[in-house]
Amino acid sequence: MEDISLHILDVAENGIKAGADLVKITVEENTQTDRLVVTIEDNGRGMDADFLARVLDPFVTTRTTRKVGLGLSLFQQSAQEAGGDLTIASTPGVGTTVTAFMSYRHIDRKPMGNMVETMLTLIEGNPDCDFVYTHISNDKRYVLDTREIRCELEEIPMNHPEVTGLIRDNLVSGLQGFSAE
Amino acid sequence: MAKISIDDLKKIKERERSKMVLRDGEFRVKITVHMGTCGIAAGARDVMSVFRDLIAAKGTHDVILTNSGCAGLCSKEPMATVELSDQPPVKYVLLDREKAARIFEEHVMGGKAVEDYALARGSETTASG
């Protein structure tokens, strides 16, 4: 993966494949503490302790489970290369939370990438799933909550081109000045 | 959340409701971009982006864009499947932005599959005795 936004897209898709209808994505950039934390929380079917113990091993993970493949181990590798790590907490029937942290200024930290495209791809490709995207950059904060939009739209699909257009505008203007890279 | 104007959403809703009376809600074309780990790493998000922008630019209301997981042909990613309501689906492989734009123009809008980028074309021939 070229950047962190692609890892986020990948892990969020895992959650949706696991039956989630709500995925919460949080990105916290803190240049003072030199930390970048990414959290992806889904309310999908979750994993039992046995599977959870093996889930980060790319050679043990079985494709037939369809819960995860190489994606999580790639994200973990990216985090470890940037002085951090990736952890997973999961409860069957409740959901899964993936947390990756990195040293913000680490020379090998991948760039944030394009979170606008990641969010639009998730929303467009999964119109029945809701997303809460929170991006915190030092003292700035942006939140996109598709539940608020869905509430107004009623039966109009979330992936209607005009709706995704509004969401794109909202993301672009809301994220202005974030991720100074 | 920063302002997505409720009024804008209401306007879209009202406009769409008036249109729905006119059509039966069926989509003419379904585009599926494969969004597994392999697809994402190979550039599937860019392909999705091209389709999204073209749908918005053309103002088409009968094309639905969605995504799916890994199809098992990871070395052929990015892949997309285009399905016209009256034709069998066509699976495209090794896509990029330019190829996606051509597929949109010729297949989605024009109704003719772009054989150059399709997964298989006449994969078996009958030997003539």
Q: pLDDT, tens digit, for every residue of A65-79?
A: 444 568 899 999 999
Strands A85-91 and A95-103: antiparallel
Q: Give the pLDDT of residue A53.
A: 87
Evaluate whether residue A179 is within a structural domain.
no
Q: State how far the Cα of A129 lies from the Cα of A149, in Å rounded to an integer.
A: 12
Q: Which domain holds residue A150?
A: 4-174
> B10 to chain A: which residues are within 8 Å by CB?
152
pLDDT confidence band for A154 (50 / 70 / 90): confident
Evaluate whether residue A180 is within a structural domain.
no
Q: Are B61 and A93 in contact (CB under 8 A)?
A: no
> B69 to chain A: which residues are within 8 Å by CB?
13, 17, 66
Q: Give the pLDDT of residue A64.
A: 53
List the domains of chain B with CATH numbers: 25-117 (3.40.30.10)
Q: First vs last Cα of chain B: how many Å apart?
A: 71
* Mean model confidence pLDDT for chain A: 90
Q: Give the pLDDT of residue A103.
A: 97
Q: Give the pLDDT of residue B22.
A: 46
Q: What proportion of chain A, given as a percentage, has pLDDT over 70?
A: 93
At residue A51, what are phi and psi to the nearest 5 degrees?
A: -70, -40
Q: Give the pLDDT of residue B125.
A: 64
Split into its structural domains, chain A has a count of 1
Q: Give the pLDDT of residue B129.
A: 45
**Interface of chain B toward chain A, CB-CB under 8 angstroms:** 1-6, 8-10, 12-13, 16-17, 33, 35-38, 40-41, 45-46, 48-49, 52, 55-56, 59-61, 64-67, 69-70
Could you report the per-residue pLDDT of A88-145, keeping only the tens digit for each? 999 999 999 999 999 999 999 999 999 999 999 999 999 999 999 999 999 899 999 9
Evaluate whether residue A150 is within a structural domain.
yes
Interchain proximity A10–B40, CB inside 8 Å: yes
Nearest-CA distance A73 → chain B (Å): 11
CATH of the domain at A133: 3.30.565.10
